[in-house]
Structure 1
């Protein structure tokens, strides 16, 4: 089942189930309670499918990247937070601020939490996962490494629009079978299997729930693998995961640049 969120022609925000080219409104994420007539997707401007309370991203969670970088496999997620204002959705324009310097894309699989969970086992964590989505975790390399005494993970990843999510949340899919791809101006630039994860989604959620309570709608980016590349203004960058869909944005320079 696919879930989406968007804006209708009259400016109303709607969340619901996508089926047969229509968005069927629901009261809340995961609810069976209908709240209106179905709306053609042609009449909806899609937003990021979830507005997360917490937007968490992982570092060093793929074997191929760890091997290339000479890094050990972590036993607990190595993670950071992205600001809520970094959230953007399908078709958005993402401004690359001059202060960001060199920016790279990072195509990733995203986990959406469906149930409140605190200190849960991996088995219970599996039940707490509502579904999966596509994420582009844009990162400023210059900001990240500007101060040798303190890697600036949050600042480097929290510029407005740097957390691209969408187009839907898919609730019925085997994450192990997924391939994460990134296209830049229609050219494939990154492709890797989700099955190469070091920590599985269930392990990720279980470990994070030992550090903090996870709530419905919280979003976790599972990390990226090899292939992340620099991008610049004027490029169209799309993350594609068959079975979920594709989410693309256009990069632009600041107005005064």
Structure 2
């Protein structure tokens, strides 16, 4: 199971740490897992999982227990109260589609039933329609925030993860009286995330690569975002309270395409890892 593309960026366990990882000096890769029927969390170092106890977003410490990566079942890296997904947040795609530059973030919510983990199959909906992949960066909130400033926003970010904002494209505008964003993006398993949450990163330096059956379909820099990570956290927190574990999907860029049953989609982000899911019946 290849979940990290650069294991040298993973630091081993240390003493209890604070909730905010924005100032963490070196990247660490956090994950949630199931082992022997129990759910736990910890850090990934190479092919080993170092178990921790406590609150992943607050005070926690290593238990000293180490599992082989192949011995655990990876879960969605957080259990968010909500996932917020951006529309028209990348200049390249907005210009290609001739979309007006938004004055504020445009977003929707992905339903909890859509959350899925690395290696979990993406279920084919019972309805007909073209199902598309959208490789994205996810911002994971680490500290409750309401109406935070752009300057303070990074202190409320825990880390970053890979995500696939799966959509039944044909549903979106099928009814001229109502754009069906929630339904189109809310089917079971339509929001794979993971495999880890990486802390201590500068999101503006990251690049998203999406592969369909091994072929690169998307390759774009996060620096092309219309609203930066800090701006997204700040502006969205003006609308609603963000809680630890909540995820903001930053939107996608050019190269979005359709999947057919049996296809495998991988979303790889430098210094985070590679999220892989097979689309099937």
TM range (shorter): over 0.9
Asked whether the 8 Å contact 1:185–1:235 carries over to 2, the reply is yes
Corresponding residue for residue 18 of structure 1: 44
1:4 and 2:31 matched: yes
Deviates more, 1:25-34 or 1:88-97: 25-34
Asked whether the 8 Å contact 1:15–1:28 carries over to 2, the reply is no
Q: How far 1:20 sits from its partner (Å)?
A: 4.4
Query: Separation in 1 of the partners of 2:168 and 2:46?
Result: 39
Query: Separation in 2 of the partners of 1:19 and 1:32?
Result: 17
Give 1:219's match in structure 2, choosing from 240, 243, 247. Answer: 247
TM normalised by structure 1 equals 0.95
Query: Separation in 2 of the partners of 1:226 and 1:2?
Result: 28
Query: Separation in 1 of the partners of 2:151 and 2:111?
Result: 29
- The alignment yields a C-alpha RMSD, in angstroms, of 1.2
Q: How far 1:208 sits from its partner (Å)?
A: 0.5
Secondary structure of the residue aligned to 2:62 is: coil
CA offsets per residue over residues 75-122 of structure 1, 9 Å max, x none?
321000111010111111111113151111000000000000000101
Query: Separation in 2 of the partners of 1:129 and 1:90?
Result: 22
Corresponding residue for residue 51 of structure 1: 79
Query: Separation in 2 of the partners of 1:107 and 1:100?
Result: 22
Asked whether the 8 Å contact 1:100–1:156 carries over to 2, the reply is no
1:83 and 2:92 matched: no
1:94 and 2:129 matched: no
Give 1:246's match in structure 2, choosing from 274, 277, 280. Answer: 274
Give 2:148's match in structure 1, choosing from 114, 120, 125. Answer: 120
Structure 2's unaligned 5+ residue stretches are: 1-27
Query: Separation in 1 of the partners of 2:29 and 2:261?
Result: 31
Query: Separation in 2 of the partners of 1:38 and 1:123?
Result: 38
1:175 and 2:203 matched: yes
CA offsets per residue over residues 116-154 of structure 1, 9 Å max, x none?
000010111111011000000001111111111111111
Q: How far 1:35 sits from its partner (Å)?
A: 4.3
Structure 1's unaligned 5+ residue stretches are: none
TM normalised by structure 2 equals 0.87
Alignment: residue pair count: 252
Secondary structure of the residue aligned to 2:234 is: helix
Corresponding residue for residue 38 of structure 1: 66
Query: Separation in 1 of the partners of 2:47 and 2:213?
Result: 26
